Structure 1
Amino acid sequence: MLITRIAVCLAVIPLEAVPVLAQSSSPPPMSQMAPGDVASAAADAVKTLGSAAKDKLFVRDLLGAPVSGPDGGTVGTVADLVVIPGGRVVAAIVATKDKKMGHIPVPFSVAKISNNAGKLGLALPVSLSELKGMKEVQSLAHAIPRKQ
């Protein structure tokens, strides 16, 4: 079964809700939040998760998952995910099997998540060498903050 949307987080954030959340007013500062604010947010999260039950997973389930190229062969693993505030996954960092290629960022919008017999994987529409040669992917690599 192919999962077309994912929910990521440490506490499962549905991605399809992100644009709506991003357009709503900013939450009050932490110092001004009341228990009712947290309860309301929890109720909204339950409602959203219920509507996306079959399309959710945890980040930990995708980290380390095999990455396949267009021919179906394994080309690496998911080393990390780049997530922006609000929970949107922007890129997957692929640790390639070829040590000379190293890590390559892949725009998450073009990767397909697969679930074969309960094992998650990520499929790429083009080869790693094609990705690495794209100026836009090189720009993406430079735009991603480096770990300290």
Structure 2
Amino acid sequence: MWGYISELKADVERMRARQGLPREGPGSPSSNGVPPRLQASAASEEQGGPMAGAKEALDKLLIADFFLVLFILAWLAAGVAQSGLNGGSSPLLDAWYPLWPLLWQPALGVLMAGALVSGGIGWVAEQQAKRR
């Protein structure tokens, strides 16, 4: 089994050499436990300035909103199933309907608009990176 591990390590080193990446080892820059790809990602975010921070905050908001929308969908599905089993009456749907214009529609709108804005910010950042 240990022979396979040493062969795997040799393959990884050959791949690194082909791609021009530094070798891993005790004295290498990536020996701090953080993979080089993540180090590069953190460096690019630091260079992005306030735009990167705003995009990260927007992405966190969108993730939370996405799970809220999943909860809304599960509640609606449970209400429809209960309505089908009870012959048209469902306390779950009766509680869900009044919240549609107040909470559920805005949550869906924020998710859709936020996805468009986040994609736009990412595109702009990519275009700026290409110019550099």
Check whether TM > 0.5. Answer: no
Higher relative contact order (Cα pairs below 8 Å, separated by 6+ residues): 1
TM-score (norm 1): 0.23
TM-score (norm 2): 0.25
Structure with bigger strand share is 1
Structure with bigger helix share is 2
